[in-house]
């Protein structure tokens, strides 16, 4: 498993929704890739803080801007990676 594949499976990995083979591949990659471990730890911390903080509504205009920024970044990265 490489970094891009791990990122694609990250949510399922965190939620324990991967089969045994993919879980083992993810764990093997995480054991050797500092950057992916940082991404995993940061994502897990964000989830923890969000759950601890409780649910807050994001104003519609801000939510739309955020979504558009994320979508633009995703499309840019996808275009760069072919």
Q: Chain-wide mean pLDDT for the chain?
A: 91
Report field, pTM of the whole predicted structure over 0.75: no
pLDDT tens, 12-43? 999 999 999 999 999 999 999 999 999 999 99
Q: Tell me: pLDDT of 8 over 80.
A: yes
In sequence order, what DSSP letters do the residues of the chain get, joined into one string? --HHHHHHHHHHHHTT-S-HHHHHHHHHHHHH-HHHHHHHHHHHHHHHHHHHH---PPPHHHHHHHHHHHHHHHHHHHHHT-
Alpha-carbon distances of 78 from 14, 50, 64, 71, rounded to whole Å: 23, 28, 21, 10
């Amino acid at each position: 498993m490489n970094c891009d594949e791990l990122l694609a499976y990250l949510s399922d990995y965190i939620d324990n929704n991967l089969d045994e083979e993919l879980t083992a591949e993810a764990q093997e990659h995480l054991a050797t890739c500092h950057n992916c471990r940082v991404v995993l730890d940061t994502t897990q911390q964000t989830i923890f803080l969000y759950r601890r903080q409780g649910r807050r509504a994001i104003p519609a205009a801000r939510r739309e801007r955020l979504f558009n920024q994320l979508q633009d970044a995703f499309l840019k990265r996808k275009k760069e990676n072919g």
